[in-house]
A and B are shown apart, each in its own frame.
Chain A
Amino acid sequence: MKEHDSGIRTYIVVWGALVVLTAVTVSVSYVHLGMMNVVVALLIASVKASLVALFFMHLRYESRLVWGFALTPIFFLVLIIAGTLSDSLFR
């Protein structure tokens, strides 16, 4: 973990973006878009998660090794969900 000038202003901006995105996702949820509601909600959640990981969790400044450790569980999560779905959907 490299030391760096962890810009306080950056943290505030990221926090502001997270609050705005929360407001957006709640507002959109009142509009009926069918399946698109799920897509939009997950998309916004993923943008928020990325912001938290990159800035608050300092992933931006981490080595490739740490990136590997952080991303591997996402691969397995997708594998578990896809694998289970491939069974339950075609039963």
Chain B
Amino acid sequence: MDPATAREAATLGIWTFLATEVLLFGGLFTAYVIFRIQYPQMFYEDHLKLNRVLGALNTVVLIGSSLTVALGIAAIRKGKVTLLRFYLFLTILLAATFLGIKYVEYTKKFSHGLFPDTDIFFSLYFMLTGLHGIHVLAGMVALGTVLFLAGRGRYSESYHTPVEISGLYWHFVDLVWIYLFPLLYLVG
């Protein structure tokens, strides 16, 4: 397979995987829609118990990490490996920040007696943000692997498909949060 065809195949592969991811979250989004219509009062009251400021802060953190990944890919497209590694490191740092803030939020909720079995809203809140959190972790592992391999000189101006592919995955994680944040924190 020539390199261009290989890259095209990899691109289609990751988009196919992302399609299955959309539908994985899709089931939970469907549950959200159904129960929100059924229990508008509960969703309204409960969403006020979430910390809008921390949620917004985490949104900005994830958007920033999307930017650093994009800049990293732009760097390796010009063959700048050191710059790529710097941006990947920054991205992983931002991902860790996101999880750190999420940890603070969870702890606060637990201390206020709000658990996944409190009611349907918090059940969905913990399921959706928990599943998303797992994706953040997976993204950190993927980007960490790419960072490690970049250090071994695997990527260059002419070959960096894994960087692009894991970048696409990372942007997807950002995409999911772009919807989760308003649905859970802003409109309940």
Contact = CB atoms under 8 A, between A and B. Distances in A.
Interface in A1-21: 1, 3, 6, 8, 11-12, 14-15, 18-19
A15 B74 CA distance: 15
B187 interface: yes
Interface residues of A, number: 45
Contact of B30 (A11, A25, A72, A80): A80
Give the secondary structure class of B's interface: helix
A25 B19 contact: no
B18 A19 contact: no
Contacts, number: 123
B106 interface: no
B182 A44 contact: yes
Contacts of A72: 19
B71 to A, nearest CB: 6
A70 B7 contact: no
7 A-B pairs closest in CB distance: A73-B19, A41-B182, A73-B22, A29-B186, A69-B15, A15-B67, A6-B74
